[in-house]
Amino acid sequence: MSKAVFQLEPLTCPSCINKIETTLNKTTGVQSAKVLFNAGKVKAEYDETQVKGMQLEEIITKLGYPVQSAKISE
């Protein structure tokens, strides 16, 4: 199981959390995704044989939340 932490710009609403978590948790290979609202971070655990950390970063960015930095351990 691989882990990734994505630092985002500050989030401004609870619907932001829901949008990111729902989308990532529906992504094949993602075991769990959790948004830390106050810290502006997304933590994800995933199966690197099914999805890559960079793909998760792209998904978050396409949702409209630019990733400032990422720590990916695959």
**CATH number (domain holding residue 11):** 3.30.70.100
pLDDT tens by residue, the chain, 74 residues: 999 999 998 888 889 899 999 999 999 999 999 999 889 999 999 999 999 999 999 999 999 999 999 999 87
How many domains are contained in the chain? 1
Q: Judge if pTM exceeds 0.85.
A: yes
Question: Domain of 68?
Answer: 2-73
3-state SS record for the chain: CEEEEEEECCCCCHHHHHHHHHHHHCCCCEEEEEEECCCCEEEEEECCCCCCHHHHHHHHHHCCCCEEEEEEEC
